[in-house]
Amino acid sequence: MSEKTGSDTPYTALGFYHKISQLRADTWNALKRDLGKLLLLSDAGQRRHLVKAVDVKLTRLEIIEDYHAFPSKEDFRHLWTLYDREEFALLEKVVKRLVRALISESYRRRHVDLSETDADAEDLETMDALAQLRRGHPASNSSSQPYFELLIVDAMSLQEEEVVREAFHNLRRPEDKFVYDVVTVRSFEDALIAILVNPNIQACLIRYEFPYKSKYNLSALRNYLEGLSEVELEKKSEAERSILLSSMIHEIRPEIDQFLVTSGDVESTASSDIRHFNRIFYRETDYIEQHHTILRAIDSRYRTPFFDALREYSKKPTGVFHAMPISRGKSVTRSHWAGQMIDFYGINIFLAETSATSGGLDSLLQPYGPIKKAQEYAARAFGARQSFFVTNGTSTANKIVVQALVKPRDIVLVDRDCHKSHHYGMVLAGAHVSYLDSYPLNDYSMYGAVPLKEIKKTLLTFKRNGQLDKVKMLLLTNCTFDGVVYNVRRVMEECLAIKPDLVFLWDEAWFAFATFNPTYRPRTAMHAARTLLERYRSEAYREEYAAWKAEFDQLDPDDDATWLEQRLLPDPEVVRVRAYATHSTHKTLTSLRQGSMIHVYDQDFRQKVEAPFHEAYMTHTSTSPNYQIVASLDVGRMQAEMEGFELVHSQVEAALSLREQLYTNPLLQKYFQVLKNSDLVPAEYRQSGVETYYDPVSGWNKMEEAWAQDEFVVDPTRVTIAIGRTGIDGDAFKNEYLMNKFGIQINKTSRNTVLFMTNIGTSRGAIGYLLDVLIKLAKGFDRRWEESSRPERKIIDYQVKSLTQELPPLPDFSRFHDTFRPNPGTPEGDIRRAYFLSYDDENTEYLRFDNGALQRQMNHGRDVVSASFVIPYPPGFPVLVPGQVVSEEILHFLQALDVTEIHGYRPELGLIVFTEAALDATADGAD
């Protein structure tokens, strides 16, 4: 895709890591092409040039393949031997076979012997490749033994390495559930590189003495190795170094099963921090024992308890004297009219449809069997203490969490542009809502996210007014629809310094995938909560806090600046870590629609929340939850634990390729502007100073830096493109251009932007197609201009100007009307009271703003108060909520909106607002 890939342009460190699988595939293909050309050349100069190019590519590939089991080191020696002997015809043959084996992934199913280049061996690869092409994707190995690679870290000689590899190979049995090959590395750094660049690695065996330094100088590890001194590391004992390595592997890829082989000093090893090792083997433990232990560990991730139970159940003959005529397909198989359902879906889905909760199945409402297990596995995968499946989407998950934690009149701080399920959740719970404003991105008619200062300021207002004890929860969306990501740890830490038992609900509807990538993971709620809890329990933190507190106490606590300008730390004696996350698993991982999860990391869950949580779950969950959704959540979790790292990595790779083209192709740049970090995050929130992750010279080097430091970062897999320069608005571009002409579906638009979301299913081919379409569109816009008359050009200019310069500023939340404000000094409002007040017709009236009626009332000094939610699409968040005073800015925004869909607003009638009499009566307490 990129012009760089496949050429000789060197990849820089992180660029190398971010694009490793594309680089690997492209370099092998380029090598194959070079060798093909070389065979046809007779000119000596040209041949020399190509031979050099082959050398460069082989050298680059040797580095990459050093961290993969196939091709093996022996295979590589064979390639170099052929190269040195100038047997280019044979080399080309071997490389061709190798490329076919990599594409078809046949090495996962059988041993590929590259020294055999006979026709039979070639046929096998070709047939494999064709079979995979017919299935439309590379081998998934679903019917045979899944394949993985075992990483061994040990300073072995080449011969020893061969012996160990051979020993593990010899243990393979046809009845084993999995098959694996061995990758060996000789140093600490190499182990980390291997797990970063080779997603096939699922288990790691850390053996005897190994040095620290890699023979390669790949600074890809810079972020992970920060603070580790080589000299110090070399001084560490064997056990200490192994333990440090295991904790770093765990931080980068927590799913990898780790085993330690130790040579002595057993007791001291066993008493140190060995929690990341599944098991410790002693030197004399035999390979058979290791082999079975490794297979068992992999199996515990691979198991899908509920999906398995459902499949078992579907095979059992049962008589149905219960609800659900469709169960076992009975009502459709014998139907004269509805048999098409079977034709379309196949029989299995009906065999798996049942309302039974016994006979091997389980009850989602009161799980005791396979659903319980499946949820426990989900908690492990997402780093939660408890996880719960939800079969009605995150819309429901959000309401469950809010109801479980919030009592009527508890104060909740909510970001105003959050999903509507939260606003309705607040109504149901009877919460007093204090809305927080996100920073606006007026140029693109979008909101960013809520700055930490704004949150701290609001908490301080409650503190100063003696209301802090009523503040229960902070609710934020991470990441936002447009991909703005919070610094979750920092937000929690500073808020806990003001209110040490604050509960956090992070709506991660769009962020379930983030757990499976080491750059993203620290910005998830579960990871941040675990890290904070460990931090607050440590002696080092107590010391840090004491020193900080001594300095803080010198400052004036009555001055807001003291709190707003300092980085705050919570008191370890009183702080409680209480975090909840809701995931639309179906949005970013494998799950049927509506499959969501709630993840909990709350120190007080068992004591304070378990019972109300159960009641809240009962309130919102159907008594007939869809088993297919539950099973798909179970499979989705398993897949994420087995290959989430690989899938998310390639999603990022695909998105980076798309961005790279959009940043560099002049035709595309003419009409489409990809929004970079600096477009979506103002400079004051980018402490790293990084404006874009991409640099045309050094590639994708900046992402980790920004993600480690900045208050907000942008998720590069969500690509927002400003299209104002096309003169077409977001909605028309989405429907008339992308969908109707090219069948490209997108979700979100603003007035002048469209959002292209990649996901774990996005292929390189799909990115290629999208780029083709954008190029065709850009050429079309060029043509439109060339062929337009003068007046037509004027119209285009006008449209471009309107979309790029005349954007209505986004309004802030105005305020709740005093009638709905329990405390004059603080901003929270009783949204529930306002919501239900509108149920009585007499309390409301309609006022139009297009004929000036509403404005006249405002000019006469009336507080005009909305009686409903008013939600324009786009942007899709309420500009008015029940009980909110209509402000000039909101009116101006509504007037300037050129969207057709505004929920809660009927143009022929106007806005529904409370009558003054209703407000007066309510203020007197007569609601």
Ligand X SMILES: Cc1ncc(COP(=O)(O)O)c(C=O)c1O
Residue ranges that bind ligand X, judged by CB under 6 A: 393-395, 419, 421, 477, 481, 507, 509, 584, 596
CB 294 within 8 A of CB 634: no
Residues 114 and 81: their CA atoms lie apart, in Å, by 13
- Least distance to ligand X from the beta carbon of 807, Å? 23
Q: Please, are residues 783 and 20 in contact by the beta-carbon 8 Å criterion?
A: no
Q: Please, what is the minimum distance in Å from the beta carbon of residue 403 to ligand X? A: 16
Of 584 and 701, the one with the shorter C-beta distance to ligand X is 584
Length of the chain: 927
Between CA 34 and CA 55 the distance in angstroms is 10
Smallest distance, ligand X to C-beta of residue 38, A: 54
Nearer to ligand X, 509 or 913 (CB): 509
Of 329 and 425, which CB lies nearer to ligand X in the complex structure? 425
Q: How far is the CB of 855 from ligand X (least distance, A)?
A: 33
Least distance in angstroms from the C-beta of 476 to ligand X: 10
Considering the complex, state which of residue 421 and residue 843 has its C-beta at the smaller distance from ligand X. Answer: 421
- Long-range pairs for 489-492: beta carbons < 8 A, 24 or more residues apart: 489/522, 489/523, 489/528, 489/531, 489/532, 490/452, 490/711, 491/452, 491/455, 492/528, 492/529, 492/532, 492/577, 492/579
Which helix (DSSP H) or strand (DSSP E) does residue 404 occupy?
helix 393-405
User: Are 617 and 582 within 8 A, CB to CB?
Assistant: no
For 215, the token pair is: 């023979």
Q: Smallest gap, in angstroms, from Cβ of residue 450 to ligand X?
A: 13
Residue written as token pair 């990129």: 2
Nearest approach, Cβ of residue 598 and ligand X (Å): 12
Do β-strands 578-583 and 503-507 pair in parallel, antiparallel, or remain unpaired?
Answer: parallel
- Complex with ligand X: residue 16 or 481, whichever CB lies closer: 481
Minimum separation from the CB atom of position 507 to ligand X (A): 5
Cβ proximity to ligand X, 418 vs 577, nearer residue: 418
In the complex, minimum distance from the CB of residue 484 to ligand X, in angstroms, rounded to a whole number: 12
What stretch of H or E contains 149? strand 147-153
Taking CB positions, which residue lies at the least distance from ligand X? Answer: 393
Residue pointed to by tokens 């929860």: 473
The smaller minimum CB distance to ligand X, of residues 31 and 400, is found at 400
Identity of the amino acid at 788: S
In the complex, the smallest distance separating the C-beta of residue 828 from ligand X, rounded to whole angstroms, is 22
Q: What angle do CA 335, 338, 342 make, to 5 degrees?
A: 95
CB 713 within 8 A of CB 677: yes
Pairing of strands 578-583, 257-262: unpaired
Helix, strand, or coil (residue 432): strand
User: Whole-number minimum distance, CB 748 to ligand X, in Å?
Assistant: 9
What's the closest the beta carbon of residue 181 comes to ligand X, in angstroms? 39
Question: Which of 531, 596 has the CB closer to ligand X?
Answer: 596
CA–CA gap between residue 548 and residue 568 (Å, rounded): 9
Helices (H), 218-319: 222-225, 230-235, 238-252, 266-271, 287-302, 305-315
Judged by beta carbon, residue 327 or residue 480, the one nearer ligand X is 480
Q: How far is the CB of 506 from ligand X (least distance, A)?
A: 10
Of the pair 125, 507, the CB lying nearest ligand X is at 507
Least separation in angstroms between residue 409's CB and ligand X is 25
- Smallest CA-to-CA distance from 764 within 21, 100, 97 is with 21
Q: Do residues 376 and 641 touch, judged by C-beta distance below 8 A?
A: no
Tell me whether residue 587 or residue 833 sits nearer to ligand X (CB atom).
Answer: 587
Q: Which is nearer to ligand X, 367 or 483 (CB)?
A: 483
Environment class of residue 235 by beta-carbon count within 10 Å: exposed (0-12), middle (13-18) or buried (19+)?
exposed
Cα 742 from chain centre? 27
Q: Which is nearer to ligand X, 436 or 569 (CB)?
A: 436
**Can you tell me the distance from the alpha carbon of 325 to that of 338, in angstroms, rounded to the nearest whole number?**
13
Output 66 or 507, the one with its CB closest to ligand X: 507
Q: Compute the least distance from the CB of residue 70 to ligand X, in Å.
A: 40
- Measured from the CB atom, the residue of 168 and 513 that comes closer to ligand X is 513
In angstroms, give the least distance from the CB of 402 to ligand X: 12
* φ, ψ dihedrals at 280, nearest 5°: -110, 130
The dihedrals phi and psi of 135, each to the nearest 5 degrees, come to: -75, -10
Per DSSP, the three-state class of 143 is coil
Whole-angstrom CA distances from 418 to 86, 868, 879 are: 64, 17, 11
- Closest to ligand X by CB, 395 or 445: 395
- Nearest approach, Cβ of residue 422 and ligand X (Å): 8
Q: Alpha carbon of 708 to those of 236, 484, 495, 513, 568: distances in Å?
A: 27, 14, 20, 18, 18
The nearer residue to ligand X, 394 or 843, going by C-beta atoms, is: 394
96 or 422: CB nearest ligand X = 422
Phi then psi dihedrals of residue 431, to 5 deg: -70, 155
Burial 347-356 (b: 16+ CB within 10 A, else e): eebbbbbbeb
Beta-bridged to residue 870, according to DSSP, are 880
CB-CB contact of 353 with 326 (8 Å): yes
Strand order across the 201-206 sheet: 179-185, 147-153, 201-206, 257-262, 277-282
State the distance between the two ends of the chain, measured CA to CA, in whole angstroms: 64
User: Rounded to an integer, what distance in angstroms lies between the CA atom of residue 623 and that of residue 209?
Assistant: 57
CB 597 within 8 A of CB 382: yes
Minimum distance from CB of 475 to ligand X (Å)?
Answer: 11
Kindly state the greatest CA–CA separation across the chain: 99
